[in-house]
Amino acid sequence: MALGHEPFVAGWPVLVALVVFALALPRSRRGAALAGWLFGLGYFAVTLRWIVEPFLVDVARHGWMAPFAIFLMAGGLALFWALAAWGARALAGPRPVAVLWLAVLMALAELARGHLFTGFPWGLPSYALIGSVWDVWFAWVGPYGLTFLVAAVACVTAYCLIRGWTLIWPALVGVLFATLGVGAVTPVAPEPADRVVRVIQPNAPQHLKWDRDWMGVFYNRALDLTQAGEAADVVIWPETSVPALVDTAGPLFAQMAEAARGAPVVAGIQRASQGAYFNSAVVLDGPTTVADIYDKAHLVPFGEYIPFAALLRPLGLGVLVDQVAGFTPGAGQGLLDVDGLGRVRVLICYEGIFPEEITTGTDRPDVLLILTNDAWFGQGAGPRQHLVQARARAIEQGVPVIRSANTGISAVIDARGDIVARLDLNEAGYLDAAVPRALPETVYARMGDWPLAVLLVLCTFAGVVARRRFAVDGGQAGA
């Protein structure tokens, strides 16, 4: 099932694997829970294999944590699937209808995985469908809704096979036509705007990024890329690409503004205030003016901060807490006004994987801007999967995405999720591209995940009521 995701790019294994899992679902609750956990363990371990990469940047200090990180992450996330499989058998018992409940409960489990304990929606099954005819559904029901549709198609197929019905093929053809029909009424790809954005990709390897002998090299490289060629209308630097704190970066800001030749610059930088540190983005308007600033609000647990750090120190885990420098979450919404782009929603790295992070309604942005440093994720699946999620954000909101990544993949993505221009991994350079215009606000942008959450909860509640009534009626009939 994990082969459906980048870098393999073959969405069909997701559907096939879910069908096989539904057909093989054990008849007991305990067996189903164990099968669900093992299935999830394999899926998440392969999909999230890139998670060991940050621990290999400094192998001497952190390498020993890598095996524990991948097993604990995959095993923890697999608990959601174990609970879904257990619930399917709890609601339906050994009856074949359990596979239909599996679709409902797996979708509910994925929705919970994306929100509980700060959430981690990486690797949603629906992301395997980006680039196919199915991806238009992101604009209608979002990534969780499409995950539900995929699970429903797989589990209905399994149910038809179990029952020996021959209606499966007309049903699948109907689903295909419904998908194509939705695609036909979706707005056409937008026209590019007049303004040209320059995306800077300095390509600073993580093990050298904060080396004092190399910081100036990467900064000067970004500066040279900014002033190369014809001037752009807006210049974008990636996450933490300015090697200074905001308060001491005045001379650097002046150099950046001069290199941009009058264009505003949006750049990732760190900021200190009253003993707290922030992972930030600044908007430079001229050599001495910081026009706006955004502090990253959704931090990476155990990467940018340690949850419950105050409780861990008394337990003798102060060494673990001290190994993470620790950022403080910002309080803003990330909406910045940038001349040449309009209203911009800034998402710093990790924030880009959460569809609900984006402000909509009256504050709907004109552009989504993702500043990231994917050097942590290695050269394989991590950066590619991160890019796929940026494409999903574009489709969900009907808004173009500009992605500036330190080592790649940097890209300009239109509101249909199509990549207009890109810079590949481990390539230093700049990307000049006209930014496409936004499309009308999508259904998902207006509604969010609430309709799906209510539907899944009501279905589960109805299943519990039906199960109790079935048990009472069955008991009376037996008596």
Mind telling me the catalytic residues? 239, 296, 349
* Adjacent-strand bridge partners of 344: 336, 367
What crossing angle do the helices spanning 250-260 and 212-227 adopt, rounded to 10°? 30
Helix residue spans in 114-167 (DSSP H): 138-163
DSSP assignment string, 275-289 = TEEEEEEEEE-SSS-
Residue that the structure tokens 């014809």 belong to: 230
Verify cis geometry, omega within 30 degrees of 0, for the bond prior to 409.
Answer: yes
224 and 217 Cβ atoms separated by less than 8 Å = no
340 and 417 Cβ atoms separated by less than 8 Å = no
Q: Which residues have C-beta within 8 Å of that of residue 186, sequence separation ≥ 6?
A: 136, 139, 416
Q: How far is CA 220 from CA 252, 259, 271, 351, in A?
A: 10, 11, 21, 28
DSSP 301: B
**In Å, how far from its chain's centre is CA 233?**
28
